[in-house]
Amino acid sequence: MVKKAEPPKSDVVTADSTASFNPVQLIQDSKAELTKVIWPSRQQLISESLAVIAMVTLSATTIYLVNNLFSWAASKVFV
């Protein structure tokens, strides 16, 4: 007689086996996770924010210029 292979048991909790929503446990777990976060210093936050703003500005300017170049080229080709 051939035995059917059983699927491996895992520690993953499925939606069917979860308990009801517990907001108190959610808040406790959130606080516990937030204590593990390494928060940036003020100087690091400012410098990285300025870097992001500079890159977004550079990207937007590049897209604007390329768009104008193609618009100009299309106006010359499709008169």
Domain residue spans in the chain?
41-79
Q: Could you tell me the end-to-end alpha-carbon distance of the chain, in angstroms, rounded to an integer?
A: 81
Quote the CA–CA distance of 38 and 45 in Å, as a whole number.
Answer: 12
**pLDDT the model gives residue 77:** 94
Please give the model's pTM, rounded to 2 decimal places.
Answer: 0.56
Quote the CA–CA distance of 58 and 63 in Å, as a whole number.
Answer: 9
**pLDDT the model gives residue 9:** 65
Mean pLDDT by 10 residues, the chain (79 residues): 66 61 94 94 97 98 98 93
The Cβ of residue 21 has, within 10 Å, a number of other Cβ atoms equal to 7
Work out the angle at residue 33's Cα, subtended by the Cα atoms of residues 25 and 36, and round it to the nearest 5 degrees. Answer: 155
